[in-house]
Amino acid sequence: MTYPPPATAPADSGDELVSQFAADVRRHLSKQPRQLPSRYLYDALGSSLFDAICELPWYRVTRAEMRLLVRFAPRIWSAVLPLDRLIELGAGDGRKLAAFLSGRPTGLAPQRVDLVDISASALESAARAASAVDRTRVVQHHATYESGLQAASGEAPRGRALVLFLGSNIGNFDPSAADALLGDFAQSLRPGDALLLGADLVKPEGELLLAYDDPLGVTAAFNLNLLVRLNRELGADIDPAGFEHRAVWNERRSRVEMHLVSRREQELRIPGAGIALTLKAGETIWTESSYKYRPEQIRGVVERAGFTAAAQWQDARAGFALTLCELRRPH
């Protein structure tokens, strides 16, 4: 099977992206509290571990979203057809894309499927899922959401685009960053374009903590893998056993916070990022937040960015919502 080449330079081989990683590590680890940007969780091993998380009984986001996609795909398609372009941001393993595509009316397909992901391995599997659609061109963008969407949306005139932004990835942005991100999407899109947003809902603390700190330790491995990546790509020599994965529900901010907690006082030397720092025992590196929404807050965030929430479907069992939005005409 052959795939079109990625529309952007491959990242893993690019010095430019390595130095972006180095610069981000330096800047975020120097903050108080110390941080590492969550997008770097998704190297090849991280992406595989994340796929494994999606199989865990305690992480219900993926299955809930899949149920909604399978059930409502025909309605979503009838709301957006005719469709020129289907764009998925953070396509992951491509299974949701495949489920959504197979719910389309027979004979009707978008001209183009554009896949945007920062993980090269995820892009490959998503492209495989999309290549099952006859006569549809699959374009890969090894890029961040914003720059990938801009490239996918394009300059030339085109028909309607539908953007899939699933997996509660919106939840990994704090409220002001979520507003900025959706505002950025609106800038790249045209009136009449659609956005399908998947967001996890607020639920009891016990369920949330099991979803982000599972008894098998897969989520812990996923989080700790970030340290292994620092060793491999930036020449650090961090002992992952010197850290512990911790998930905390912050009720006031409505988010689960993921941390790597230092088990002892230790020095971290990261030559590739040009930094060395001492962590106290119990000091944490904050790697990710996962905000949980109430249904009306989802409508609020899309409306502020210039979209109209046209329909919303919820999975009551797992507490998850899919919201179909349309970009309004500016006035």
Query: Among positive and negative, which fits the CA dihedral 149, 150, 154, 160?
Result: positive
* In the complex, minimum distance from the CB of residue 247 to ligand TRP, in angstroms, rounded to a whole number: 7
Taking the least distance from each CB to ligand TRP, the nearer of 219 and 284 is 219
Residue nearest to ligand TRP (CB): 290
CA–CA separation, 110 and 114 (whole Å): 10
Q: Which of 246, 256, 259 is nearest to 290 (CA)?
A: 256
Taking the least distance from each CB to ligand TRP, the nearer of 138 and 258 is 258
279 has which bridge partners? 266
CB atoms within 10 A of CB 216: 12
* In the complex, minimum distance from the CB of residue 53 to ligand TRP, in angstroms, rounded to a whole number: 5
* In the complex, minimum distance from the CB of residue 170 to ligand TRP, in angstroms, rounded to a whole number: 9
DSSP state of 215: T
* In the complex, minimum distance from the CB of residue 212 to ligand TRP, in angstroms, rounded to a whole number: 5
* In the complex, minimum distance from the CB of residue 191 to ligand TRP, in angstroms, rounded to a whole number: 29
CB atoms within 10 A of CB 232: 12
Q: Interface with ligand TRP by CB under 6 A: which residues?
A: 38, 41, 53, 61, 167-169, 171-172, 212, 219, 222-223, 258, 288, 290
Taking the least distance from each CB to ligand TRP, the nearer of 116 and 138 is 116
CB atoms within 10 A of CB 76: 23
* In the complex, minimum distance from the CB of residue 41 to ligand TRP, in angstroms, rounded to a whole number: 6
* In the complex, minimum distance from the CB of residue 265 to ligand TRP, in angstroms, rounded to a whole number: 25
CB–CB of 99/64 below 8 Å? no
Taking the least distance from each CB to ligand TRP, the nearer of 167 and 319 is 167
Taking the least distance from each CB to ligand TRP, the nearer of 150 and 172 is 172
Q: Which of 59, 61, 87 is nearest to 220 (CA)?
A: 59
Taking the least distance from each CB to ligand TRP, the nearer of 83 and 126 is 126
Long-range contacts: 232-236, Cβ < 8 Å, 24+? 233/18, 233/21, 233/272, 234/21, 234/22, 234/25, 234/270, 234/271, 234/272, 234/273, 235/270, 235/271, 235/272, 236/268, 236/269, 236/270, 236/271, 236/272
CB atoms within 10 A of CB 265: 12
Taking the least distance from each CB to ligand TRP, the nearer of 53 and 116 is 53
